[in-house]
Amino acid sequence: MTTSTLPTRDEVAAEYKWKLEDIYPDNSQWEEEFSQLPSVIEEIKTYSGRLGESGPVLLAAFKLRDDIGLRMERLYTYARMRRDEDNTNATYQAYEDRARALWSRVGEAEAYFNPELLEVGQEKINSFLETTDGLKVYGQVLDDLFREKEHLLSASEEALLAGVSEIAAGPSQIFDMLNDADLKFGEVKDEEGNLVELSQGRYLRFVLSPDRDVRRNAFMKFHEAYTNNRNTIAACYSTQVKSDIFYARARKYK
């Protein structure tokens, strides 16, 4: 009887791994982008109180907000996928955490945006759409904004919700670490009687086995790991539900 353990990432052929260098060539490029974004975040604040000035001003503000969003998506995606390569790697745990915190700052800086547009009013915004080249691309966004206006808060309240978003993500982050880093699923026997280390990635292969015993043992072994941590998982879920209820009430949903 032989035992097959999970390969380390270094042992996996390059053709089976994603190429995050296509996002940033190396960590130093990520750090450079991270260091540049705070000044751009400050720039979006300069449009506060000005969105109703003219169509071109509103268009410029939208474009800057888009630019920040795209850069933040790249920054966060790289950090999160690097962490996903090995969820026990503290370096990339920190990268993901820093990116998440920076995104929270973005939310706070842009919190004035929607409340101010509501104050400007739909009639004036529609006139901007008709007279400003390039602004119509945001027509659907603006329609949705006015349609959902009863669920939008003041600028200070929106900033507060944006600031708390990092804390509200806690249950999800805790479960991710448990699920993707700390849980161990033990070993099962394959169709030839060999012991194989079970993982989330290998589970589907065994649960679809033509051998009923292999399917059953894989199913029982896999879910045993969750049963053994049911109290921690239940606490994560309970806290997540409370977070959802908080946001629903804050935004005046029934």
Q: Are 136 and 129 in contact (CB under 8 A)?
A: yes
Q: What is the mean pLDDT of residues 35-46?
A: 97
CA distance 62 to 64: 5
Q: Are 116 and 164 in contact (CB under 8 A)?
A: no
CA distance 45 to 31: 23
Token pair, residue 185, equals 């699923």
**Please, what is the angle between helix 139-147 and helix 113-120, to 10°?**
80
Q: What is the mean pLDDT of residues 9-37?
A: 94
Give CA 162 to chain center in angstroms.
14
Strands 3-4 and 195-197: parallel
| CATH code given to domain 20-168 | 1.20.140.70
Amino acid, res. 149: K
CA distance 166 to 169: 5
Q: Which pLDDT belongs to residue 5?
A: 87
| CATH code given to domain 184-227 | 1.10.287.830
Domain boundaries, the chain: 20-168, 184-227
Confidence of residue 9 (pLDDT cuts 50, 70, 90): confident
For 75, 127, 149, 230, the CA distances from 146, given in Å and listed in that order, are 31, 15, 5, 43
What is the reported pTM?
A: 0.85
Q: Which pLDDT belongs to residue 1?
A: 66
Q: What is the mean pLDDT of residues 138-161?
A: 96
pLDDT above 80 for 2: no
CA distance 36 to 176: 29
Give the tens place of pLDDT for each residue, 76-127: 999 999 999 999 999 999 999 999 999 999 999 999 999 999 999 999 999 9
